[in-house]
Homo-oligomer: A and B are copies of this chain.
Amino acid sequence: MKVLIVHAHPEPRSFVGALRDVAVEELTPLGHEVRVSDLHAIGFRADTGRHDFLEAADAGYLKPQREQMHASERGTFAPDVGAEIERLLWADTVLWTFPLWWFSLPAILKGWVDRVFVMGTIYGGGRIYATGALKGRRAMLAFTTGGPAASYAPGGFNGDLNLLLYPIHHGMLWFTGMEVLPPFVVYGPARMSDEERAAALDAWRERLRGIERLAPLGPDCGVPAA
């Protein structure tokens, strides 16, 4: 596999950082190629703007999709955006390691999506979902929560986790054509003992060793009601 890990946590020694490190340590000896985009470490910008592009299709009115189409045709993405598009197209397997903040992606990771999933290269011209440009590739979320598992069950006080993840699984990953693997979730590592955290990392190692045989969620991403 060619694995791109997109990592978003501001503390390098966080438990989410351990998820990233364990993935590199586990996958590399198995013969997989692994690249890491550590968004906080590289100071990746989260906001979409003129700085995404080396030139303008319309200098008087910024419509991001139009500029993305233009830059896709002419190869004029700013270097930070262009480098991430290249890595995304290189990978056949994409892992996102992050803390779930406000039931969603940290802003820096959402910014990676906004700026890198560009019209004209990653989607557009009717290529979405089953005909998406990233068809045949696979993606998996690996994240931590603050609350305990029970609070994310159907009827739990935070709401069903599959529903909370639906905009990410369906609207970002499956939209591009990537098959979505079941997420790997560590509930409340901040409240765990060292032994429990070590056990969670062992479970992560096992998940990674089996990733090639893992069945994707399917187009409904675990939310048949949608």
Assess whether B63 is in contact with A11, with CB atoms less than 8 Å apart.
yes
**Interface size class, chain A:** 35 or more
* A64/B10 contact (C-beta < 8 A), A46-B47, A47-B40, A48-B107 known: yes
- In the assembled complex, the Cα of A202 lies from the Cα of B102 at a distance in Å of 33
Is there an interface contact between A225 and B104, defined as CB atoms closer than 8 Å? no
Q: How many copies does the complex hold?
A: 2
Q: How far is the CB of A226 from chain B (nearest CB, A)?
A: 4
- Pairwise interchain contact B46-A46, C-beta atoms closer than 8 A: yes
Does A13 lie at the interface of the complex (its beta carbon under 8 Å from any beta carbon of B)?
A: yes
Chain A residues close to B by CB (< 8 Å): 10-11, 13-14, 40, 46-50, 61-65, 101-108, 110-111, 113-114, 117, 129, 146, 154, 157-160, 163-164, 166-168, 170-172, 175, 190, 223, 225-226
